[in-house]
Structure 1
Amino acid sequence: MCIGQLGNLLPHVALSANLAQHLMPAWGLSAAEGGLMASGYAFGYMLAVPVLTTLTDRIDARLVLLGGSVVSGLATVAFGIFAQGFWSGTIIWSLAGLGFAGAYMPGLKALTDRLPAGDTSRAVTLYTSSFSVGVGLSFLIAQVLADGWGWRTAFYVTGIGPIAMVVACLLIERRSPAPRVGRLLNFAPVFANREALGYIFGYGAHCFELYGIRTWLVGFWTYVVAHQGAPSWLSPVLMSFCFAVISMPASILGNEAALKFGRHRAITVVMIASACVALVIGLNATAPAWVLALLLMIYGLTVPADSGALTAGMSAAAVSEHRGATLALHSTVGFGLSAIGAWGTGVALDAAGGPQSARGWSLVFIVLAAGIALGPLALLWARISGPGKHVSTPR
């Protein structure tokens, strides 16, 4: 499943990896337009995931995963063939996000449905943290191909990646959930589960920060290379790849810390640390390149360190018969705020001077810090509000 997910993630940041260097100049886009186009992926995901993930409480999640992987790959290839500007690019990239809505959380459901009873925290964390390796490969492959053969080639090739998950779906065993009756989109039991809601809203803050930095990381480092004299080997390709790949050990270690010291405490510490690092970067956007490179690598550790712990906490807090609905709300909130993060940071960049302005990049990181700082408040709200009730509905 993790190997299949690597393939599914090859298209994931193909647009963000080429946004500042290729797509915005070619189509004359502002940072706000570029951010909005990138957020189309998260918006398409947000619209589809409530239905697709909740559907896994009724049919084998493997089938949803299979269909979503196929749509994601085809839409990515279609972007390379048909995208000609802001509107066509946003619409097609939203379809790619819609496909990924059937490929990520349904994949997690397909995995947890086949795990033995007991603590699944480490398995869930391995699955979620392998996300970072896939994103790193997406950054690397998309930029290398675009620089060598044009940005359209990057979409053609990365669009082939989801075939890996198609193969995985065909290899894993079939398993169907117990038949259910009632409304498909019934989130009342999830909203009654305060413990799960705390992790869900915390995940939203995490996604705002994560998608915001992934959208503009290449653009920021392109600015640093042009204005602060970074050495030629310290390229946007290398920086974005390293930033993404170190996320995997960071997420795993974050979850281990949560198991050892307590989940709420560990997540809160990580989020506050991440906000502080973002502020330091924002207030020092004109620092020497080696200083910013070091700070970005630290940020690459703090940004994802809460991801596995948040998702594992949500999964553990979910009532088994409503796990699909809980995963659906988790993903809807997360990717809804991802879309706001990508667009909002683009608006901030334009408002403070644009991609060639140090003030613009300073404001981007200040916005990211403000977003993740809301995460600890969500966890505190869940704790002081009490665990809530687990509401059951007839099967």
Structure 2
Amino acid sequence: MALTGWRLVALLCLTQVLGMLGNATFPALIPVFQPLWALSNTEAGWVSGVYYAGYTAAVPVLVTLTDRQDARGIYLLSCLLGGLAALGFALLASGFWTAMVFRFLGGIGLAGTYMVGLKLLSDRLPEQGRARSVAIYTAHFGIGASLSVFAAGEVTALAGWSWAFVVGALGSFVSLLLVVVFVRPLAPRPRRAAPTAVFDFRPVLRNRPALAYTLGYAAHIWELFGFRAWLVAFLVFVFAQQPALAAGGWSPTQVATLLLLLGLPASILGNEIATAFGRRRIVSLFMIGSGGIALVLGFIAGAPLWLLVAVLLVYGCLIMADSGALTAGAVIAAAPERRGATMALHALLGFGAGFLSPLAFGVVLDLGGGVDQGLAWGFAFALLGLGVFTGPLILALLARRGNA
């Protein structure tokens, strides 16, 4: 039984969340792996970031090919690869280099499911309502990352870290089966225009509104993925400064899950606000707000608990409020025959920043004296804030067409 309309949107949101159960397993368990494998902060940053290096290497090829063939086949193969990569980590990873290999392969699997899944969805939806569907779908990336953090913490506490990766593998395999059963292949259809080379991004680069949202997305991902990669480790440091948190029975992974789950309503609501009041203006305000908090967040781990919690909650909302609006802006601004190439460049630049920011964060931590030093956390978070501040500048220069 093939699903259509909002049922299809719901299905692909579900498969995205299931397929991402292994997404944040390593970052959530950095406090476990650092003593276990004697990893420095820089090495932990490499393993966290190399996942998105795999994504960045594969996404231009996989997503651009969806302009020429149905995205469904690529999606299914990528679910399989993602599951095998997580299973390989569970069974064979024993240190820095083996972890790098399996996380790189996992990132390739994500490249063929997240943005390819968005193309699979947009190809099967009418133009009306597409922006809202895109925002809902992209918001579920945050849900997937959140539940991955939660599963990693809970499963590791019950059965050990390897079983946390097994759970991630099972999620990918279930996603594969759901798409096989419920998503019908598209019938071949003639192209609207004879394309030049398959990977010719020059027409995409000439589309200034789409390029503005793509570069803005890279600034957003720089901040977001650095935050996600090091959030649990930061909360371990916060717990040491705030005994009341530990006394309340919370674990760092549970608090991180709560903060990340705020991304779903924030991203959907952010897109609605941007659609109503001007996408460029609203996205810029969200970026300025989240970047301003990042400049101070690392320095206030020992602040009064009520203040710290309030800042974290607001940051958890603001850091995701522009995500759906940026991706929807790029999809809407893209030429229909170049939508796959536009999304490929969008993902390439965005997740390229997502590869670099966890690594840069780890380097700053090492230079600042390590995870036990408040100044090190302060400077590392400030680096994320400075990066996201480039987003409003880019949007001001390139996106000047009405609500674009």
TM-score range, shorter chain: over 0.9
1:244 aligned onto 2:276 = no
* Contact 2:25/2:149 (<8 A) preserved: yes
Give 1:374 shift. 0.9
| Counterpart position of 1:274 | 290
The aligned amino acid for 1:144 is: E
Give 1:25 shift. 1.0
What TM-score do you get using the length of structure 2 for normalisation? 0.92
| Counterpart position of 1:3 | 14
The aligned amino acid for 1:110 is: L
CA distance in 1, matches of 2:399, 2:318: 23
Give a deviation string over 1:306-327, Cα, whole Å, max 9, x none: 0000000000000000000000
Instruction: Write the mapping of 1:130-149 to structure 2, written as runs, cut at 5 A.
Output: 130-149=140-159
1:339 aligns to what SS in structure 2? Answer: helix
What TM-score do you get using the length of structure 1 for normalisation? 0.95
CA distance in 2, matches of 1:277, 1:244: 16
| Counterpart position of 2:9 | none
CA distance in 2, matches of 1:120, 1:290: 40
CA distance in 2, matches of 1:326, 1:123: 18
The aligned amino acid for 2:385 is: A
Instruction: Write the mapping of 1:322-341 to structure 2, written as runs, cut at 5 A.
Output: 322-341=338-357
The aligned amino acid for 2:224 is: L
CA distance in 1, matches of 2:399, 2:214: 13
Which of 61, 73, 77 aligns to 1:67? It is 77
Give a deviation string over 1:63-90, Cα, whole Å, max 9, x none: 1111111101110110111111111111
Give 1:283 shift. 3.2
Give a deviation string over 1:204-258, Cα, whole Å, max 9, x none: 0110111100011000010111233132323212211111111000001100110
2:315 aligns to what SS in structure 1? Answer: helix
1:25 aligned onto 2:23 = no
* Contact 2:242/2:302 (<8 A) preserved: yes
Give 1:277 shift. 1.4
* Contact 2:91/2:162 (<8 A) preserved: yes
Give 1:181 shift. 5.6
Give 1:100 shift. 0.8
Instruction: Write the mapping of 1:91-170 to structure 2, written as runs, cut at 5 A.
Output: 91-170=101-180
* Contact 1:224/1:230 (<8 A) preserved: no
CA distance in 1, matches of 2:310, 2:381: 15
Give 1:168 shift. 3.1
1:343 aligned onto 2:359 = yes
1:235 aligned onto 2:251 = yes
Using the aligned pairs only, state the percent identity: 40
CA 1:261–1:145 in 2, change beyond 3 Å: closer, same or farther? same
* Contact 2:52/2:354 (<8 A) preserved: yes
* Contact 2:153/2:254 (<8 A) preserved: no
Give 1:163 shift. 2.3
CA distance in 2, matches of 1:364, 1:148: 32
1:12 aligned onto 2:28 = no
The aligned amino acid for 1:59 is: Q
Give 1:177 shift. 4.8
Q: When the two structures are aligned, how many residues end up with a matched partner?
A: 385
Structure 2: which 5+ residue stretches go unaligned?
Answer: 1-11
1:41 aligned onto 2:51 = yes
CA distance in 2, matches of 1:376, 1:215: 24
Give 1:381 shift. 1.7
Instruction: Write the mapping of 1:181-196 to structure 2, written as runs, cut at 5 A.
Output: 182-196=196-210
* Contact 1:42/1:335 (<8 A) preserved: yes
CA distance in 1, matches of 2:259, 2:142: 9
Which of 315, 321, 324 aligns to 1:308? It is 324
Give 1:34 shift. 0.3
Instruction: Write the mapping of 1:381-392 to structure 2, written as runs, cut at 5 A.
Output: 381-383=397-399
Structure 1: which 5+ residue stretches go unaligned?
Answer: 388-395
Give 1:293 shift. 2.4
1:204 aligned onto 2:214 = no
Give 1:280 shift. 2.7
* Contact 1:57/1:177 (<8 A) preserved: no
2:125 aligns to what SS in structure 1? Answer: coil
Give 1:119 shift. 4.1
Instruction: Write the mapping of 1:354-365 to structure 2, written as runs, cut at 5 A.
Output: 354-365=370-381
CA distance in 1, matches of 2:174, 2:279: 33
CA distance in 1, matches of 2:13, 2:327: 16
The worse-fitting range, judged by mean Cα deviation, of 372-381 and 323-332 is: 372-381
CA distance in 2, matches of 1:52, 1:178: 20
* Contact 1:55/1:324 (<8 A) preserved: yes
The aligned amino acid for 1:225 is: F
CA distance in 2, matches of 1:23, 1:131: 25
* Contact 1:57/1:323 (<8 A) preserved: yes
The aligned amino acid for 1:322 is: R
2:127 aligns to what SS in structure 1? Answer: coil
The worse-fitting range, judged by mean Cα deviation, of 296-305 and 222-231 is: 222-231
1:221 aligned onto 2:231 = no
CA distance in 1, matches of 2:76, 2:174: 10
The worse-fitting range, judged by mean Cα deviation, of 118-127 and 187-196 is: 118-127
Give a deviation string over 1:147-173, Cα, whole Å, max 9, x none: 221111110111110123213321112
Which of 190, 204, 207 aligns to 1:178? It is 190
CA distance in 1, matches of 2:178, 2:205: 33
The aligned amino acid for 1:50 is: P
CA distance in 1, matches of 2:214, 2:276: 21
